Structure 1
Amino acid sequence: MSFQIKIPSCIYGGVGCIENVKGIVEKEGARRIIVFTDKGVRAAGLLDMLTSLLDKTKVEYQVFDDLTPEPAYQDVERVVKEVEGYDGELIIALGGGSVMDAAKLCSVLKGARYTVKDLLDEPSQAVKMVRTVMIPTTCGTGSEATCNAIVAVPEEQSKKGIVNDNMIPDYVLLDAQMIRGLPKSIVAATGVDALAHVVECFTSKKATPFSDTYAAAGAKLIFHNIREAYHNPDNMEAKNNMLLGAFYGGVAITGSGTTAVHALSYPLGGKYHIAHGVSNAILFAHVMEFNMKACEERLAQLCDIVYPQKVEESTNDKARYIIGQIAGIVKDTGIPTDLSEFGVKRADLDVLVDAGSKQQRLLVNNRKSLSLEDIRNIYLKVLK
């Protein structure tokens, strides 16, 4: 068996590491910078931290912040057209997953003849046109580490991932200052998204020794720090550990891939615009319960790593303990657990089941196959 993993070529970590952006700009010899962000990041004052550093380098830069959360591919195409008019030599993304995904897509679209729609149909044609720097401002998407970009596809009422090695970022800056003031609800949603990444990757049919190493390291950090990061926003050690755990989860994705949790969450984001981390959190424990028989040993192994005090217990008990911790974290961080809160009705089940079943890129990673009836029953568990 051969296996591989992909990882950004240069990663900086620690409070204050955003200062390294000056050296990156100098190293790249960039004179004009494209900055991707969103209005929330700008309003929080985080953009000012970046632009003040860019001002010291005396480079030109253009800020693009007109990107909607959870964007459709048409939204990304619109932003890419705006960027086409600016002759930037380096892209810096400061934001959450949507911002970073849009920046990664721009890095392979600027000056290209293909469109985002073309990449949805055939992602292999993407070629990197502009090098990228990722600065995450949430603690969960892992987008800063992956070669994936997720966009909504309205006509399919779902989301779809574009995957191409050329979208791996060139530089990553993991600075906990960027998540110091993150609202608790976003700490929760993005943190549980990161937790889903590491657990799904560890239990994926395509898991490898490489992906296991990163998934296990990420799991230890996230399971032991997410509650603290949520309840005590000023605990910068917990915030830093969440940022690292999220990055490790992103790296694990490039080696193995997520599974049915993400597959079934995509229609919830695409049709109902439920935040990605929230839709994952709602489904997470229920999918792992469904997977229990196929994943029991893997979940028990993860329990040994994260909660070594449980090592004397049975395999079944350890696997159930991990699933119980997942459910407990979702409850403790105040994430809704019922889809009806978001206007989802039982009458929508057929559409959800159909859209979820089409996420074969991820469903093939799941150790237990899902029939249409299985998918329906999982959705029913979160429709009360």
Structure 2
Amino acid sequence: MNTHYQFQTADKLIAGIGVFTELVSHLQKAVPSVERVLIVTQPFVKKLDFYQVMTSSLEKAGLSYEVVTDVEPEPTEANIENIKERVRDSSYDVLIGLGGGSVLDSTKLLSVLLSNTCTIQDILGTDLVKEPGIPTVLIPTTSGTGSEVTPNAIVTFPDKELKIGIVSRHLLPVLVVLDPLLTVSLPKPITAATGMDAFTHSLESFISNKANRFSDMFALESIRLIADGIQTAYHDGSNVEAREKMLIGSTYGGMALTAAGTAAVHAMAYPLGGKFKVTHGVANSMLLPHVMAYNMDAIVDRLAQVADPMGIQLNQGATSQQKAKAVVQKIKEWTAEFSIPQDLTEFGVREDDLEDLAIAAVQVKRLMDNNPKEMTVNDAIQIYKKLLA
């Protein structure tokens, strides 16, 4: 475990059932001079009741707003740059991101692109954003990415068939609003994929080479909340208590990865998204049990500590090895229960593609360096192969 570590997240978080209705008062405290707002979202969100609640409250407060709705799922460099060009001549005091991880990441990037003389290419990597962005308010409508509290944003590059991360403290928002009522309409497949994505963040942070006391605290509580809520949220989406556990668990997962970073699961997921358009949550869910099994001999004791927060009950004399294997088995059972795809051929992946995928994965050094066990190209090929029928 690291002996020197640090942690930084959003300036302010508000949370609770119905807290969304308090948005404007908190916004005006976070950005006292606010007059003009840019809302970043997607078309279907505009049809939901809470969107109307938000815009009505902005109007009542005398705030003007414009709306961008063409954020793509898994947004590309071109998508974000095109939005920037359309709105760059306007002067906004704050950007509000209302949606899932793609919307939140795009909002964060637009914030710094509009206030810095740079392109996305200029800031790929870590700590390359020079100046603070336009203040952002991030409001997640899924329980998955934890993007609302991380300094990270992910961009898809179709020409490179890869996703690449941008990491900067300037991507952190001034305000986060966590209201589980905004997630109750999520369909089952999105509940499953985003929930397992959040779980992956926490588990990978817990076994990361950069794990520390900060990340462990957030990771273990995230794992407990998600394990306690994910099955109910999946089977009964209207259960607000389960939705709240998932939402807070997801946010804690984002805090865990902010403090420690994810590892090989995410590195292997990126080329699946970039080349075959496998959504991020699904890719992570498919890979998670297989990467944990690969890492097993290096993380037995850490995985064993996860069994209890996951609610796994074994005999009193169970060994660390038995507990660790039970954790991997439980993840496999979840993916089956939640109908997570288990066959990459459904996405067009063939055995001939595996070497290119593996080469791309091991080149994601930012994440692979966090993995507790070194992974070669051949190792990655063998893991991918387990997901071919």
Tell me which interval the TM-score lies in, with the shorter structure as reference length. Answer: over 0.9
CA distance in 2, matches of 1:43, 1:71: 21
- Asked if 1:276 corresponds to 2:299, the answer is no
- Which residue in the other structure is 1:2 paired with? 4
- Which residue in the other structure is 1:31 paired with? 35
Say which of 328, 338, 342 aligns to 2:343: 338
- The alignment partner of 2:115 has SS state of coil
Give the gaps of 5 or more residues in structure 1.
Answer: none
- Which residue in the other structure is 2:319 paired with? 314
CA distance in 2, matches of 1:154, 1:244: 33
- Which residue in the other structure is 1:116 paired with? 120
Tell me how many residue pairs correspond in the alignment: 384
Say which of 163, 168, 175 aligns to 1:171: 175
Give the gaps of 5 or more residues in structure 2.
Answer: none
CA distance in 2, matches of 1:337, 1:292: 21
Q: Is the 8 A contact 1:109 1:126 kept in 2?
A: no
CA distance in 2, matches of 1:254, 1:353: 25
Deviations 1:168-199 (A, max 9, x none): 11111110111011111100010000010010
Q: Residues 334 and 122 from structure 1, CA distance in 2 versus in 1: closer, same or farther, beyond 3 angstroms?
A: closer
Q: Residues 65 and 169 from structure 1, CA distance in 2 versus in 1: closer, same or farther, beyond 3 angstroms?
A: same
Where has structure 1 moved over 4 Å in runs of 4 or more?
Answer: none
Say which of 353, 356, 360 aligns to 2:361: 356
Matching residue's letter, 1:6: Q
- Asked if 1:380 corresponds to 2:385, the answer is yes
- Which residue in the other structure is 1:290 paired with? 294
Say which of 249, 253, 275 aligns to 2:257: 253
Aligned pairs (5 A) from 1:227-242: 227-242=231-246
- The alignment partner of 2:308 has SS state of helix
CA distance in 2, matches of 1:312, 1:170: 48
CA distance in 2, matches of 1:305, 1:111: 43
Instruction: State the 1:40 CA deviation.
Output: 2.4
CA distance in 1, matches of 2:48, 2:278: 23
Matching residue's letter, 1:331: A
- Asked if 1:21 corresponds to 2:16, the answer is no
- Which residue in the other structure is 1:367 paired with? 372
- Which residue in the other structure is 1:211 paired with? 215
- The alignment partner of 2:5 has SS state of coil
Q: Is the 8 A contact 2:74 2:156 kept in 1?
A: yes
Instruction: State the 1:144 CA deviation.
Output: 0.5
Taking only the aligned residue pairs, the percentage that are identical comes to 39
CA distance in 2, matches of 1:45, 1:153: 34
CA distance in 2, matches of 1:238, 1:271: 34
Say which of 306, 309, 328 aligns to 1:302: 306
Instruction: State the 1:121 CA deviation.
Output: 5.7
My pick for the range that moved more, 44-53 or 275-284, is: 44-53
- Bigger share in helix: 1
Matching residue's letter, 2:352: A
CA distance in 2, matches of 1:122, 1:153: 17
Aligned pairs (5 A) from 1:41-80: 41-80=45-84
Aligned CA-pair RMSD: 1.3
